[in-house]
Amino acid sequence: MTSQPPLVVVMGVSGSGKSTVGAALAQRLRVPFADADDFHPPANIAKMSAGEALDDDDRGPWLDAIGAWLHEHREQGGVISCSALKRSYRDRLREHAPDLELLHLHGDRDVIARRQASRPGHFMPASLLDSQFRTLEPLAPDERGLVVDVDQGVDAIVDHYATRTTSTTTPEETA
């Protein structure tokens, strides 16, 4: 375990539970929480709402804003939910906050699609889920993080993170 307060990025495709789990984890760890969805410029939200996936150029400044939040919270700790789908995106976040940890909410497509479908009023259309899965690059062995299966309750996922034995594990659980 690190002696530094936890600085965690809860990552995964749209609908995997990042906002829900991230808020619960922050509460458990007693650190501030932020949702990366709130950092998108209006143009990104408009694009996704229109059913078009973001590209690297759309995500670049957004990732830097999230990185700035992480940097600001490096002493105090914090949890932020952010899709962080590609290795290069996570590298970009680590440029701002080298000590961050990742919690990847891994899930079966059908489970996540069901959850997305039963979530009314969200700007992200279900039609973009396949693009999210195509873009997703799993954590590499050298990335500090943990993978948990989302097909379990939020408390169980939070427990899993909170009771991990090391902060430098490689992905250990996949569905």
Ligand X SMILES: O=C(O)[C@H](O)[C@@H](O)[C@H](O)[C@H](O)CO
Task: Choose from ligand X, ligand ATP, none: what does 170 bind? Cβ within 5-8 Å by kind.
Answer: none
Q: How many alpha carbons lie under 13 Å from residue 45 in its C-beta half-sphere?
A: 9
- Given CA atoms 110, 149, 143, 69 in this order, what sign does their dihedral have? positive
Q: Does 61 bind ligand ATP (CB under 6 A)?
A: no
- Given CA atoms 90, 91, 95, 98 in this order, what sign does their dihedral have? positive
Could you say which DSSP state residue 39 is in?
G
* Binding residues for ligand X, total number by CB under 6 A: 7
Report how far residue 86's alpha carbon sits from residue 90's, in angstroms, rounded to the nearest whole number: 7
Q: Which residues touch 126 (CB under 8 Å, ≥6 apart)?
A: 15, 113, 116, 117
Minimum separation from the CB atom of position 148 to ligand ATP (A): 9
Binder to ligand X among 8, 11, 25, 59 (CB under 6 A)?
59
Q: Does 78 bind ligand ATP (CB under 6 A)?
A: no
Query: Residues 73-112 vs ligand X: string with x where CB under 6 A?
Result: ----------x-x---------------------------
Alpha helices, H only, the chain: 18-29, 42-49, 56-72, 87-96, 109-117, 129-135, 154-162
Q: Does 14 bind ligand X (CB under 6 A)?
A: yes
Q: Does 54 bind ligand X (CB under 6 A)?
A: yes
Query: Residues 87-126 vs ligand ATP: string with x where CB under 6 A?
Result: ----------------------------x---x--x-x--
Segment near ligand ATP (CB under 6 A); pick from 9-17, 42-50, 62-70, 85-93:
9-17
Main-chain dihedrals φ then ψ at residue 156, nearest 5 degrees: -65, -40
**Site residues for ligand ATP per CB under 6 A:** 12, 14-21, 37, 81, 83, 115, 119, 122, 124, 150, 153-154, 157
